[in-house]
Amino acid sequence: MDEKTAETLAIAAGLEKAWANHRADVLDALATLAAHKANLPRATNAAVEPVPAYSLAPRR
């Protein structure tokens, strides 16, 4: 991933300070994400949640 794309992603994620102060760490995190992305299972139906929805007990 080129640095301009990484900067755009970091800013879109609200990581302006991290990008300014810890650029190498942000780039490393994005590289790790890209490496693991191929190993994530994909649902055959895009409308299906990857995990079941959680519900909270009703308040009394």
Per-residue pLDDT reduced to its tens digit, 12-60: 999 999 999 999 999 999 999 888 887 877 667 767 765 655 666 677 7
Q: What pLDDT, on the 0 to 100 scale, is given for residue 41?
A: 72
**How many angstroms separate the CA atoms of 15 and 26, rounded?**
9
Q: What pLDDT, on the 0 to 100 scale, is given for residue 44?
A: 73
Q: What pLDDT, on the 0 to 100 scale, is given for residue 10?
A: 92
Q: What pLDDT, on the 0 to 100 scale, is given for residue 33?
A: 87
Q: What pLDDT, on the 0 to 100 scale, is given for residue 18?
A: 94
* Lookup: tokens for 35: 């490496």
